[in-house]
Structure 1
Amino acid sequence: MEKKLGLRNVVSVSVGLVIATSCLISLGQGAGEIGELFIFAMIIACLLNMVTMATMSELNALMPNVTGGLAQYTLAGIGPVPTIVLMVGGYMISNILSSGVEASIFAYAMGKVLGLPIPNFFWTVLASIVILIANLRGVDMFAKIQDLVAYLLLGSMLLMGLIGVFKLGTGTVIHQPAIMHPHFKNVVSMTAVAFWLFIGAEYAIPISKDVKNAKRNVPLGMFIGLGIICLVQSILIMGFKNYTYWDALAASAAPHLLYGENLLGKAGQIWMAFVAALAVVSTQNSTVQGLSSIFAGMSRTNLMPQFFGKLNKHKVPYIGIWAVTLSILLFAWLSQDSSDRISFLILVGSVFWMASYITAHIDLLVFRKRLPNAPRSFKVPFGPILPIIGILGEVYMIMNISIDPVERHHIWALTGVIFVILFVYAIIWTKVKMRIPIFKPVPMEKVLAMENTMYYKIRKRRGIWK
């Protein structure tokens, strides 16, 4: 097939996968804590994510077009146990958690705007059932509106930010300090909150095979997308200052609704609720489709139970679809109607995602040492300096994941327990089912061969894999 996607398409995909209404929770929490100073925390987080995108681009250049992406990179880089822990913890849990939070925000918005005498959770269940049925039937009915939703979210944020900055809203203009708690330590600490605003841009990498001049356009498109998001969200924060008190933003379970109402009255609230409805459909549909496919792919390489690879009559991995949907509902129920729970779960998800990014940097350093002369269509500049900066930055953010020391320790405890459980499971699974050394990297050529479905069938037939 002739490559026909350009830089604009890569930017669109990057922006579309990063922007979600759950980002507005982090934006409201961050701005509510330190005011416009949060913009500097966002810039730091954005730059660190750009470093990670460069790392992902080089990994993709070494192992182009593998379906599992980071799973295969890590399997070849540092072995099966870290791969299982990373993919289940770093990607799957954080993706499901973020979709659950997104669904909770949507339900809260619908309940607040419509005011019907029914529990808010009803809207989460309704949206989940519709998306579940669509995916079980193999109907990607929402694919065509993915870009529309992304640009509607981005455009809404930009427009509402500009209205606030220039004081053009119909609401009452307020007066408050631009900066709260003006200490550099607070800026650095809030980078962990800002990190959530930029995760997911690497999901543009799988389209690289269809992009013209992918060596230049894929990394550049991700960098531009992250830069655009940082700029738009900075404008929105400056708009917050003129219409919404910082402490009210920090306390709100849906700061975008609060700002919309303060800015344009009921019309602004309805506008943001409509955007939240489109966003939850887009985000949850993408998560259900994407993760069920990853489950199926990992089952083919024996990294997960084989039943995840079973297909229904519509040729879709139905067990994974059910598992992801029910898990999203669980996280949505846990976070419903509470800004504290939503904020806590977002930070927990950030830790898992940071761990996956740290692993990506480690994979790259390992491949630089092991395969220094392997051909690469893209290479991160300045040797190992940028990956090391990425690792140190993400470790620091994990260590300072919350300004509140009590919340910080609760986040560490929860993520630590989950990682220990996953680690024990991964060791047992690798020794009993895969029958390979638990920490020995799998040769890159063998990992690439695993893309062929015959690889697993042959090993099972020979009794190597159970």
Structure 2
Amino acid sequence: MNNDHLKRDIGFFAALSTVMGTVIGGGVFFKVSSVTQQTQSANLTLFVWLLGGFLTICAGLTAAELAAAIPETGGAIKYIEYTYGRFPAFLLGWAQIIIYYPANIAALSIIFGTQFINLFHLNANLTIPIALVSGISITLINFLGAKVGGAFQSISLILKLLPIIVIVIWGLFTPAHVSFSLIPLTSGAHNSFFTALSGGLLATMFAYDGWIGVGNIAGEMHHPERDLPKAIIFGLFSITIIYTLINFVFLKALPISELAGNLNAASDASLQLFGRFGGKFVTIGILISVYGAINGYTLTGMRVPYAMALENQLPFSNWLKRLSPHTKVPYIAGFLQIGIAIIMMFLGSFDLLTDMLIFVIWIFNVLVFIAVFILRKREPALKRPYKVPLYPVIPIIAIMGGLFILGATLLTQTGLALIGLLMTGIGIPVYFIHRKIQS
């Protein structure tokens, strides 16, 4: 595969920053609500955060082999197209356009609205209007150009780490308000262990989401065979530790009954730890983190319909591939993305949206993991600057973990899974009708 057009100027630390900056978003603060609601147990809550991190590390190490071998713009879409053909790749692109990116933007905007109201003690009816303002304002910022959106993302990355560091360090050395035992693993009285485990694991996966996009930088690294797996291992391992520690602090600060189903749990725990002023300071940091996370999905998301439109794969491709004359931003694709996100803000809650997008995206994640086996057999001579370690054990773990997430969602949240499948399936007639019109 010819990579001469790629400029290799990314080193290990830049790759590590990309891993951590992509994955860490709003989920670390707000999924404690749904995880504890599912598990109803402190020790099972910590276990599913560790298990989610382990599965994510295996998944990242597996996908990195394809990222190094197929270092093309588009990431997972290109891996699937190379392995399975254009139709499955189109469905992934369609799912990202219709569900993945808009649902992320909508869910995080709702969280921003919830936290803004909590901070300033406003009327709860203002949640959606504030969510609309946050989502639309980020889109408008990105219309100023990729340089502006990228700079905003870099600044927010630094700022989003501050409340995490403060909460973890202070919380670990503060006497516990709530005590609990780490063993034996137990679930709450109202859920079976399997239901609690699967529901909790699914909820954590939103917080770990974003790792597969790291593969986009493989072709621009100095030594992808050496630095990419190191960045993924250290990055995802560090994130797993951070997520586990911050949830340990939350569980020390508040009882399960006050965490479960409480979207203000992070803010309430901060108030318990730091008092009124310190708690508000941390909440402001959380708001900045969430706002930056919305920017990350907006910045990258609007490029998906644009890239597909360049290859004339979508209806109205002539419109979707238009760039603004001065900033060279795909503004029509941006309007499409925020339009779908606005509809989702009115129709869904934070947890509903995030669980649905995780189910859909993991269908394609599993296909990516399987692709490693297919290409090893079909194209043994394909240049692989990096190979997944402990093959085939780690890819099998990644596949089994993905199948567990999908199966558990189908069993415990059947309606949610069917909605995601239906929205993805709408892309099937779109693909064939558009193809017939073009022929």
Between the aligned partners of 1:131 and 1:383, the Cα distance in structure 2 is 42
Q: Distance in 2 between matches of 1:320 and 1:2?
A: 27
| 1:460 corresponding residue in structure 2 | none
Q: With structure 1 as the length reference, what TM-score do the two structures score?
A: 0.82
- Please state if 1:138 is matched with 2:151: no
2:167 pairs with 148, 160, 165, which one? 160
2:31 aligns to what?
Answer: 26
Unpaired stretches in structure 2, ≥5 consecutive residues: 1-5
Q: Does the CA-based 8 Å contact 2:43-2:180 persist in structure 1?
A: no
* Cα distance in 1 between the residues matched to 2:114 and 2:275: 18
Q: Does 1:86 align with 2:99?
A: no
Name the counterpart of 1:102: 108
Between 351-360 and 298-307, report the one with greater CA deviation: 298-307
Partner of 1:421: 426
Aligned pair in 2 of structure 1 residues 140, 333: CA closer, same or farther (>3 Å)?
A: farther
C-alpha separation in 2, matches of 1:352 and 1:29: 19
Matches within 5 A, 1:335-346: 335=348, 341-346=349-354
2:325 is the alignment partner of 1:321: no
Written as runs of structure 1 = structure 2, the 5 A alignment for 1:6-405 is 6-32=11-37, 33=39, 34-64=41-71, 66-89=72-95, 93-116=99-122, 119-138=126-145, 140-167=147-174, 173-175=177-179, 180-181=186-187, 185=194, 186-187=196-197, 190-305=200-315, 306=317, 307-314=319-326, 315-335=328-348, 341-401=349-409
Seen in structure 2, the aligned counterparts of structure 1 residues 8 and 351 have a Cα distance that, compared at 3 Å, is same
In 1, the alpha carbon distance for the partners of 2:431 and 2:219 equals: 32
CA separation of 1:209/1:412 partners in 2, compared to 1, >3 Å: closer, same or farther?
closer
CA offsets 1:428-454 (integer angstroms, 9 cap, x no match): 334x15xxxxxxxxxxxxxxxxxxxxx
TM-aligned CA deviation for residue 137 of structure 1? 3.2
What is residue 3 of structure 2 aligned with on the other side?
A: none
**Counterpart position of 1:5:** 10
Cα distance in 2 for partners of 1:384, 1:429 equals 39
Alignment-mate amino acid for residue 203 of structure 2: V
Residue type at the aligned position of 2:111: I
**Structure-2 residue corresponding to 1:410:** 415
For structure 1, the residue ranges without an aligned partner over 5 or more in a row are: 336-340, 434-464
1:252 shift after superposition: 0.6
Q: Secondary structure at the match of 1:43?
A: helix
How far 1:139 moved relative to its partner? 5.7
**Is the 8 Å Cα contact of residues 252 and 258 (structure 1) preserved in structure 2?**
no
- TM-score normalized by the length of structure 2: 0.87
Residue by residue over 1:238-272, the C-alpha shift from the partner in whole angstroms, topping out at 9 and shown as x without a partner, is 21222211122112123211211222233244223
Q: Is the 8 A contact 2:80 2:89 kept in 1?
A: yes
Q: CA RMSD in A?
A: 2.6
CA distance in 1: counterparts of 2:352 and 2:154, whole angstroms: 29
8 Å CA contact 1:175, 1:242 repeated in 2 = yes
Structure 2: how far apart are the matches of 1:259 and 1:52?
Answer: 32
Provide the rounded CA distance (Å) in 2 between the counterparts of 1:225 and 1:377. Answer: 20
Partner SS, residue 20 of structure 1: coil
Q: Which runs of 4+ in 1 moved over 6 A?
A: none
Question: 1:98-134: CA deviations, max 9, x gaps?
Answer: 2211111111111111134571323222223332322
The 3-state SS of whatever aligns with 1:369 is helix
Q: Is the 8 A contact 2:225 2:387 kept in 1?
A: no
Distance across 1 between alignment mates of 2:77 and 2:146: 27
Partner amino acid, structure 1, of 2:34: Q
The one-letter code matched in structure 2 to 1:242 is K
Aligned length, in residue pairs: 422
Distance (Å, rounded) in 2 between the aligned partners of 1:151 and 1:137: 22
* Per-residue deviation, residues 42-85 of structure 1 (Å, max 9, x unmatched): 22222222222223221122222x11122122122112221122
Change (3 A) 1:231 1:348: same
- CA distance in structure 2 between the aligned counterparts of 1:231 and 1:331, rounded to whole angstroms: 32
- For residue 400 of structure 1, give the secondary structure of its aligned residue in structure 2: helix
Match of 2:380, as an amino acid? Answer: P
Q: CA separation in 1, counterparts of 2:233 and 2:126?
A: 41
